[in-house]
Amino acid sequence: MALIGRDSELALVRRAIARSHGVLICGPAGVGKSAVAAEAAGRLAQPPVARIVATAAGRSVPFGALAPILDDAVIGGHATAVAAIVTRRFAGSARPPVLLVDDLQEIDEPSASVLLSLVANGSIRLLGTLRDGTKPPDAVTALWKENLVTRIDLPPLTRSQVAQLFTDLLGGPVASPTVEVLYELSSGNALHLVELARFGRRQRRFTQRSGRWWWIGENHDVPPRLAELLLGRVQALSASGQAAAEVLALGDPLPYETLDEVAEPGALDELERTGLVTVSEDPGGVLRIRFAHPLLQSVTEASLTTARRRTLSERLRAAPVDHVDIVRQAGWELACGSRPRADILLAAADAVLLTDSALAERMARRAVEAGAGSVGLATLSHILSERGDIAAARAALDDAAAQISDDEQRFAVDGEDLSQQLWSMRDVAGARQVVERMRATLPLSYREQVDSIDALALLYSGRTNEAIRLARCVLDHEPGLSTEIRALTALVGGLCFADQGPAAMEVAERLDRMAARAQLSSTRRGLIQALLAITRLLHGHHRPAPPRPSGAFGRWPVAVGHDLGRERSTETVSGDEDAGWPLLVGIGRHFAGDLQGAVAPLQEAVVQQLAGEGVFRSEAIAELIVVLSELGRRDEAQALLDGTPPDGIAIVPGLLDWARAAVAGANWLRADATSLAIAAADAATRQGAVLMAWSFVTDAGRWGDPKLAAAALDELGLTPSSPAARARAADVVARASGDPAALAAAAAQQLSVGFLRHAAELAALARAAGGNRDVIRAVAAVEAGLERAAVPGTGGGRPVRHVQLTHREAEVAHLAADGRSDKEIATLLTLSIRTVQSHLAAAYRKLGVGSRADLGPLLPG
């Protein structure tokens, strides 16, 4: 399994063995060096003359490592004489044989000298492995420094390779947020990943939801076999070194000054010298010490007894903590014997909520026990709501309400009540009652704060125009920072879907700057990141990589570089674009026409949004229903629509009718599809969400009657303002006209704004309509552009995986595969027989088949 993603390295190894004196495969422990070497050896025309595993125990025996290729009489002689004897032994070979030597860092000095001579004089070809961070004999180092063999440094696995590895180990696809967490836990180390998979299955740390595997274990879980290996490195330290490692385990990463205050002299040097820690300087000049691998911290902390943990925590509490992360400080508060500081526990509980909600709950409960009052109970209620335990959340909120002693506490408790009414209980009327209660019970000085929270409630009740108006009213009164950020959050969401792109982008940049310097709760920051990312996807000229999911469940997005209480790597790795927040990745692929690629992230998004406070629950469900319908997976789409339909808690009005229209279209109920999609557009238009109204009208023409869709434009009074809306309008009008030139021009317009599936459909319609040479050239240009396009919302760089058939071709092909005649299809779809035959011929050509009987196995759904 460690060989997943190693094809290029294997090719390099084979070339080096074929063209030089051999190869040295280098890398950290567990990265898969031995597996690559063994696989390369197994592919040789002639097997290695011997396989040698050097060991620390064998270093005391001269020539002990080379015993498999030496006679007993030779062992004990001089290295030059031994090398000469072995050279003569292999002199008759047509080609120098390959010698496989594992763990060359452990080989004894005499064997290393002989090996260097044999490679240098061409008697053997070496296939060796060498562990990083060790000091091998000088002769081993000379092998690659003198260019006698090719050195290949084996990198850790990337996120996409981790996904492939776990898919193989678990027997099914793995949710992308889980891949992200496992990648962070393992740093891409193949051995660690395999052990995590074995441990997770044995301890039931994995659960399967919506056909994908999710990690539900604690992030600090360490498999016993791996813990034994890692703990051995710590136990090999001196007593003072072990003590310093234990202190670091309770605070990783720690500022140098903090650890130096607690550790004994020389201990930090030992930790760095042995490679157990790394030292880095942040932009502020603070030196931070952290374990070289995250699992080293986990296994060291797990080895501490309760008494030892308490002792070290008390010492750390007394040390300088100016640059210590709040989560680490809270850990000391939990472990110490004295009364903990509730404010630190509550701040840390929020910081880890998205990555370790169980720890967040424990911290909040301890804060409540320590006298945190109504604020602590409101925080606990919020955590319980996020964890999906709404009954316990409501009970904690009732307790919080009973302990309110001032207006600030009342605002906090009522704000949490509003959040739960909206996103956990999905009750628009209940949310309105909370807002009215806040207006009645809080003094006039709280007016802007209440209005800002009401603007968000209106936004998520699908009342776009009202949300925009109220948010702007708040901003006109120069509110405090937190209130201003809340109003900007509502405003950017409203402007985005009101199709006011330039204004939305301007507000988005302002919100981004303000949020970066403000103290915000983790869920507020996640909501902001989600709306910023959606706005940039829909209106930005340059589409950056999407935000990443936070934690193994990943319901909330986190901006690259922001850890929400957990240190995480922020480098961008080529080929890892799928690591983005699932909902945004799915929406981006849907827009691009990559329907097959959109299904998995949207399924993940639905699983995420059905748990806890599903802020984007309706949007995720509607998107998935539409994508499944367009793929012809009618039963799945209908089951989702029946079981968990979009509800009234949504930024976009009309989602339920849109989803119903998609299912009707998939079942060739064209009249129903048309009327439902237009009804969705009407609802969106009346509330001001005109960007989505354009999308709904376009789908009315795609799934139903194009002429009725075009007529609806005038009835709804839609006037395109943004490039996206103008492209939608061109799509609707061109389909209704059936004119080849208009269809080709509309296809080019879709391509220019990134609606790649629509561009492919319109180009196919233009070609089928039989236009002149200018039309054919225009269609060819669109098709060439589609081949070069990349999926928006995934950081660019990944080619579009287009669904091969247009929507109409898929309809015709499905009906043909069901045994319908051309005439029956024409009647059902209100097409001419000639048009049906044209679509069917295109489907045959694209799928590479020649008859109706061959269609079924190749069609989705």
pLDDT tens per residue, range 280-297:
888 888 889 999 888 888
Annotate 304-326 with b (16+ C-beta within 10 A) or e (fewer): beeeebbbbbeebbebebebbbb
| 591 in Cβ contact with 754 (< 8 Å) | yes
Compute, in degrees rounded to 10, the torsion defined by CA atoms 193, 199, 203, 204.
30
| 677 in Cβ contact with 657 (< 8 Å) | yes
Beta-carbon contacts of 203 under 8 Å, excluding residues fewer than 6 positions away, are: 217, 221
Which residue shows structure tokens 């001579």?
117
Distance, in Å, from the CA atom of 453 to the CA atom of 1, rounded to the nearest integer, reads 51
pLDDT computed for residue 859 by the predictor:
61
pLDDT tens per residue, range 76-105:
667 888 888 888 888 777 789 999 999 999
Distance, in Å, from the CA atom of 742 to the CA atom of 737, rounded to the nearest integer, reads 8
Q: Which two three-digit tokens encode residue 391?
A: 């009954």
Which residue shows structure tokens 């950290």?
28
Residue 200 DSSP SS3:
helix
Distance, in Å, from the CA atom of 435 to the CA atom of 584, rounded to the nearest integer, reads 30
Q: What are phi and psi of 485, to 5 degrees?
A: -65, -40
Which residue shows structure tokens 């300087």?
281
pLDDT computed for residue 198 by the predictor:
87
Q: Residue 216: how many CB atoms within 10 A of its CB?
A: 14
Instruction: Give the range among 225-239, 571-585, 670-684, 738-752 with minimum mean pLDDT.
Output: 571-585
Beta-carbon contacts of 541 under 8 Å, excluding residues fewer than 6 positions away, are: none
User: Taken in order 449, 453, 456, 462, is the CA torsion positive or negative?
Assistant: negative
| 670 in Cβ contact with 676 (< 8 Å) | no
pLDDT tens per residue, range 194-207:
888 888 888 888 99
Enter the DSSP assignment of 260: H
Name the region of 5 (left: φ>0; alpha: ψ -120 to 50; beta: rest): left
pLDDT computed for residue 515 by the predictor:
94
Q: Label residue 804 by pLDDT band (50, 70, 90).
A: low
Whether the pLDDT of residue 801 is over 50: the answer is no
State the DSSP string of 229-244: HHHHHHHTS-HHHHHH
Nearest to 96 by CA among 138, 125, 60: 125
Q: What are phi and psi of 306, to 5 degrees?
A: -60, -45
Which residue shows structure tokens 């395109």?
720
Higher local confidence (pLDDT), 566 or 406: 406
User: Taken in order 403, 408, 414, 416, is the CA torsion positive or negative?
Assistant: negative
Residue 102 DSSP SS3:
strand
State the DSSP string of 638-683: HHHHHHS---S-BSSTTHHHHHHHHHHHHTT-HHHHHHHHHHHHHH
Instruction: Give the range among 465-469, 563-567, 688-692 with minimum mean pLDDT.
Output: 563-567
State the DSSP string of 137-158: -HHHHHHHHTTSSEEEEPPPP-
Query: Residues 690-711: what's their mean pLDDT?
Result: 95
pLDDT tens per residue, range 12-27:
999 999 888 999 999 9
Nearest to 496 by CA among 689, 754, 693: 689
Distances (CA, A) of 425 to 280, 531, 815: 46, 22, 42
| 678 in Cβ contact with 693 (< 8 Å) | no
What percent of the chain shows pLDDT beyond 90?
54
Q: What are phi and psi of 481, to 5 degrees?
A: -60, -50
pLDDT computed for residue 832 by the predictor:
87
State the DSSP string of 205-226: -EEEETTEEEE-S-TT---HHH
Which residue shows structure tokens 């422990």?
29
Whether the pLDDT of residue 183 is over 70: the answer is yes
Q: Write down the pTM of the prediction.
A: 0.84
| 652 in Cβ contact with 462 (< 8 Å) | yes
Q: Label residue 796 by pLDDT band (50, 70, 90).
A: very low
pLDDT computed for residue 591 by the predictor:
83
Q: Label residue 74 by pLDDT band (50, 70, 90).
A: low
Mean pLDDT of the chain: 88
- Calculate Rg over the CA atoms of the chain: 32
Distance, in Å, from the CA atom of 53 to the CA atom of 535, rounded to the nearest integer, reads 57
Q: Residue 79: how many CB atoms within 10 A of its CB?
A: 19
Q: Which two three-digit tokens encode residue 589?
A: 């692929």
Q: Is the peptide bond before 253 cis (omega within 30 degrees of 0)?
A: yes
Distance, in Å, from the CA atom of 435 to the CA atom of 817, rounded to the nearest integer, reads 55
Residue 763 DSSP SS3:
helix
Whether the pLDDT of residue 705 is over 50: the answer is yes
Compute, in degrees rounded to 10, the torsion defined by CA atoms 89, 95, 96, 97.
-90
Q: Which domains does the chain have, with CATH numbers?
A: 7-153 (3.40.50.300), 167-220 (no CATH), 616-717 (no CATH), 809-858 (1.10.10.10)
Whether the pLDDT of residue 821 is over 70: the answer is yes
What residue spans of 560-654 are helical by DSSP H? 582-592, 595-609, 617-630, 634-643
Query: Residues 741-751: what's their mean pLDDT?
Result: 95
